[in-house]
């Protein structure tokens, strides 16, 4: 493959071999595991898995809250020669049954309450079901398993998307995909053995799982946290001397609304964002709250893990940019003729290089739609991910997100970017969150509906928002209806659930 990386790629479970044996690696409730402890427990869990499931390459699923099991499984399954299928603990019975059936899981490990919610027939024939605590207890007595000698190109994980546009589909990832993702993030974030990462994102998603992998690649430690309120996150930062925090925009908005004590805020060295663009106002708020932290806006998609990041030194002057390609990624902007778009011209973001996944599990038709030959201009060649996202590259080479092709609002013959309407609403300072939707309309084709959460509610804010939008947006972009909400729904990945809003509002 042209332009491939020279980085040494090892089987995924070798990540646990990188840290100082006596250094903290995983901070759990009531105990802290060193890297030596981690090596022992990964080895024994892998040995127990291998005794329980005999089929090479079998899919083993985990469905539990953050804890020892969910942290060890990505590496233990890799060492045992299996494919890990992490299931978001927020998913319900029907979604879990689909994932188990679709993946053909040979084992499911989960918390007893979650397992008890499954009906007869939800678990495939031959799938062994084990309670989380039982699995950990049995693994303690298992024989140790040596590090894997797997081919880095072998399949090691299937991550299922949230399924907001249909049933979840599984993205197939190799050892190399995850190893290079960990190395890439650790490199551009400049993580080292002194760093403590607070893992608040779900491990069933690439962004969340990379919290573990990039931290351990760098020899640092991880504190997994399932939080109930944003204040729980703030308390954990102070309690554990957290240096690194990754989140999605809805959580950053909530964290920015808290009163942070100066000494606690100063502990954070870096803030990373993906799953949606940061607004200029939110960037200013984060910079004011965390003056010692470097802010990393990022863009990614599960099919290629992560694509871009913005250098923190550029955030103040380019707060809405998604930056440039991360290490091991090549990002092209391709116009509707299939050619590389000129500067400041809109096109589709195409991701090329070794971070590209292996396609969708047992779904060749959808794989063919998204995973297609790289453009001729690519230095990597091979298969690329055609994201469907519309971006433009400015004269400085910085990328700017425009919107999804299928999310563009088409009203009275005009193409309207939802993000542009949302940014205008947020810029007024009257709303903390905003979502623009295209709702079917007999006269316009689609009408712009804006769903917002006020910074300080009341009818005054409602009339003032309409007035300010009239000043800032052309007539064809004006919302036909503004819907005020006390809270916006979020999906299992922590992002605002646009489909839920669409179903609520659309006739």
Quickly count: other Cβ atoms within 10 Å of residue 447's Cβ: 19
DSSP E strands, 123-206:
128-131, 155-160, 170-174, 196-199
Tell me the C-alpha to C-alpha distance, in Å, between residue 213 and each of 9, 16, 303: 14, 9, 17
Helices (H), ranges, 397-458: 418-427
How much is the pLDDT for 231?
Answer: 97
> In this predicted model, what pLDDT tens digit does every residue of 90-133 receive, in sequence order?
888 888 999 999 999 999 999 999 999 999 899 999 999 999 99
> In this predicted model, what pLDDT tens digit does every residue of 109-121 receive, in sequence order?
999 999 999 998 9
- How far is C-alpha 56 from the chain's CA centre? 29
CB 306, CB 184: distance < 8 Å: yes
- Which residue numbers in the chain have pLDDT < 50? 1-3, 163-165, 459
How much is the pLDDT for 200?
Answer: 96
CB 331, CB 306: distance < 8 Å: no
How much is the pLDDT for 280?
Answer: 85
CB 244, CB 272: distance < 8 Å: yes
The structural domains of the chain, ordered by start, are 409-505 (3.30.300.30)
Residue 472: name the closest of 430, 401, 420 by CA.
420
CB 450, CB 418: distance < 8 Å: no
Quickly count: other Cβ atoms within 10 Å of residue 6's Cβ: 5
- What DSSP element (H or E) covers 502? helix 498-505
CA angle, residues 444, 445, 449, in degrees to nearest 5: 75
How much is the pLDDT for 1?
Answer: 38
Q: What global pTM score does this model have?
A: 0.85
Residue 494: name the closest of 293, 243, 203 by CA.
203
How much is the pLDDT for 168?
Answer: 78
How much is the pLDDT for 10?
Answer: 97
Q: Name the phi and psi angles at 378, rounded to 5.
A: -70, 135
């Amino acid at each position: 493959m042209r332009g491939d990386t020279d980085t040494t790629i090892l089987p995924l479970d070798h990540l646990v071999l990188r840290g100082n044996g006596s250094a903290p690696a995983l901070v759990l409730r009531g105990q802290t595991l060193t890297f030596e402890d981690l090596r022992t427990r990964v080895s024994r869990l892998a040995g127990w898995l291998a005794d329980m499931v005999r089929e090479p390459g079998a899919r083993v699923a985990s469905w539990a809250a953050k804890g020892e099991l969910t942290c060890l499984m990505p590496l233990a399954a890799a060492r045992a020669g299996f494919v890990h299928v992490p299931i978001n603990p927020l998913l319900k019975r029907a979604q879990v049954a689909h994932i188990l059936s679709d993946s053909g899981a040979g084992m499911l490990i989960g918390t007893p309450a979650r397992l008890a919610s499954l009906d007869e027939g939800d678990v495939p024939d031959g799938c062994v079901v084990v309670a989380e605590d039982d699995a950990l207890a049995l693994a303690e007595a298992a024989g140790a398993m040596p590090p894997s000698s797997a081919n880095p190109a072998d399949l090691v994980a299937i991550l299922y998307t949230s399924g907001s546009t249909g049933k979840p589909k599984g993205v197939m990832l190799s050892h190399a995909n995850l190893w290079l993702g960990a190395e890439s993030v650790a490199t551009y974030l400049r993580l080292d053995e002194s760093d403590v990462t607070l893992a608040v994102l779900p491990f069933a998603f690439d962004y969340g799982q990379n919290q573990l992998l990039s931290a351990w690649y760098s020899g640092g430690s991880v504190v997994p946290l399932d939080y109930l309120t944003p204040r729980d996150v703030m308390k954990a930062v102070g309690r554990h001397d957290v240096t690194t925090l990754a989140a999605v925009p809805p959580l950053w908005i909530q964290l920015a609304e808290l009163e942070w004590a100066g000494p606690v805020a100063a502990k954070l060295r870096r803030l990373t964002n993906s799953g949606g663009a940061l607004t200029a106002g939110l960037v200013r708020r984060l910079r004011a709250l965390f003056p010692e932290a470097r802010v990393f806006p990022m863009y990614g998609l599960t099919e290629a893990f992560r694509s871009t990041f913005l250098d923190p030194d550029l955030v103040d002057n380019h707060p809405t940019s998604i930056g440039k390609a991360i290490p091991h990624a090549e990002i092209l902007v391709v116009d509707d003729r299939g050619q590389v778009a000129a500067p400041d011209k809109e096109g589709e973001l195409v991701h090329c290089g070794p971070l590209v996944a292996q396609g969708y599990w047992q779904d060749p038709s959808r794989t063919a739609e998204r995973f297609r030959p790289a453009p001729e201009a690519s230095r990597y060649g091979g298969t690329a991910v055609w994201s469907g996202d519309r971006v433009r590259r400015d004269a400085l080479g910085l990328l700017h997100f425009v919107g999804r092709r299928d999310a563009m609002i088409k009203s009275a013959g005009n193409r309207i970017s939802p993000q542009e309407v949302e940014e205008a609403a947020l810029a007024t300072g009257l709303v903390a969150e905003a979502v623009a939707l295209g709702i079917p309309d007999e006269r316009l084709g689609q009408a712009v509906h804006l769903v917002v959460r006020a910074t300080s509610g009341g009818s005054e804010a409602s009339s003032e928002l309409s007035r300010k939008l009239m000043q800032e947006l052309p007539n064809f972009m004006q919302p036909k209806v503004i819907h005020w909400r006390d809270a916006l729904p979020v999906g299992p990945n922590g992002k605002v659930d646009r489909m839920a809003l669409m179903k609520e509002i659309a006739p």
